[in-house]
Structures are given as structure tokens and as C-alpha cells.
Amino acid sequence: MNALKPYGDTLNDGRMQLSFTLPVPCSPRAREAALQYLRKVGLTDPQVVYSEALDEGFTFFVVYATSDAVIDYDTVKGAEKIEYMSFDEINEFIKEKIGRKIVVVGACTGFDAHTVGIDAIMNMKGYNHHFGLERYPMVEAYNLGAQVPNEALLDFAREVSADAVLVSQVVTQKDVHIDNLTELVELFEAENLRDRTILIAGGPRISDRLAMELGYDTGFGPGTYAEHVATFIVRKMAERGIS
């Protein structure tokens, strides 16, 4: 397919749904401004289907519009779809290929207090019927919880000889998570631990690509379960010949 565009109800109709707020009073003029703005963005045939005052100085719009832009799908490269192993397969894999329990340390670092992400991966119970790493017989899992300083995470990882370190960043503002994630990699490098530790970042605003740019082995975003993370770790360990 070399001319890809959004699908509304007919192929290549290019219809899109948007909603946004403009910081002006709700009025016919505000609606006109919304339409002009959408045209400037490059959308055609915009329709404001709903607008409402959010207070005296702000207006909310729900809009449909058409995009004429197309992209050549044949040239688009995405991350490869990975076949993940199951809970049993992972434990079996560790027994056979690594021959000992693997050690995984997880934490929510910096000032982030939101453990929902790291808990979903680490806790016994797991998330959405996917067991967490604490449940894996062949994984020794340590969840250090929230607001863990990078230095403390490094010290703990060294103490337990961690094979992999999982860093979760959930609620961040003004990109503080980027600095925080970068600092951890630098610490591991300074202490000569980077090469023997698999570093993984996770969180709603983390992508594989971003994590790798920051010097991590990989990154996991929304929709990740423990077996995804574990599959990555054990394959990487086997690939590096760690035992």
C-alpha cells in the first residue's frame, strides 16, 4: 500500500476525529478560528460538531475533518513483532539455557511515587491475569517500590548481582524522566556495571526507541505484561552467554 490515509467509513476518505480547546470565549468567532486553525494544520473540510464554553475565556471543540496527506506504507518500518514466551516457557528456558535463577530488580526512581507500572510487572499477583515476576520460580525478583534514588538502585543491584534492572517512570512533568533515566545509565557506566546488567525502562511515555536512545537495552510502554519483560531478559542473557 503506497497511499495510506485514515479510514472513516470508506477507503481513503481520510476522515479524522479531534477534540481540543482554544483559549478564547465561546462565540461564532471562536468557531471560525477553530476552522481556520484546522485548515492551517493541513486538514480540509473541517466540521465543528460540538463547541462549548469551558469558562468565560476558553472553548472546547469536537471536530471532524479530512486529511489529504498520504504516506507510503511500503517504506514504513516498525519494531519487529516479537513472539513472547509464556510463564512456563520462560521458567523452562531459564533452567535449560541459563541454569540458575535470574535476579531482577525493579524500582520507580527519582521523585516518581507511582508504583502501578512496576507493580504490574513485579508483584506476585501481576496484572490482568498475567502473573508478575515474583511468581516466577526461576526469577529472584526485588521490587524496591517508589521514589528510589538512582544511587540506591545501583547499590542494591550490585549487592544482589542483578542480571536485569527495571526502571519505571509513570508520572513525570516537563520531561524530568528523561534526565532521571539518563543519569541511571551514566551511574551504571561509571561503576562498570553497564555491560553485565540489562537495563530496561518502562512507563506510559516510554517507547523502545526512546529507551534505546537513552542507552537502555529496551523500553516497554503501555500494555506490557511480565512475560514480555521476562522474555526479553532471558533471550538477551542467552544471547550474551550469561550464566
Residues found near another protein in the complex (CB under 8 A): 19-21, 52-56, 58, 60, 111-113, 115-116, 119, 123-125, 128, 145-147, 171-174, 176, 204, 222-223
As a whole number of angstroms, the distance between CA 174 and CA 179 comes to: 10
State the nearest-atom distance from the C-beta of 217 to another protein, in Å. Answer: 24
State the nearest-atom distance from the C-beta of 128 to another protein, in Å. Answer: 7
State the nearest-atom distance from the C-beta of 125 to another protein, in Å. Answer: 6
Half-sphere exposure of 209 (CA within 13 A, CB side): 4
114 or 235: whose CB is closer to another protein? 114
172 or 197: whose CB is closer to another protein? 172
Concatenated DSSP letters of 64-78? EEEE---B-GGG---
19 or 243: whose CB is closer to another protein? 19
> Cα angle vertex 219, ends 213, 225, to 5°?
175
State the nearest-atom distance from the C-beta of 48 to another protein, in Å. Answer: 14
Q: Give the active site residue among 97, 101, 125, 236.
A: 125
82 or 152: whose CB is closer to another protein? 152
Q: Is 77 annotated in the active site?
A: no
Residues 6 or more apart from 223 whose CB is under 8 A from it? none
Q: 21-44 b/e with 16+ CB inside 10 Å = b?
A: ebeeebeeebbeebbeebeeeebe
Residues 6 or more apart from 107 whose CB is under 8 A from it? 118, 143, 144, 145, 146, 148, 153, 165, 166, 167, 168
Which residues are catalytically annotated? 125
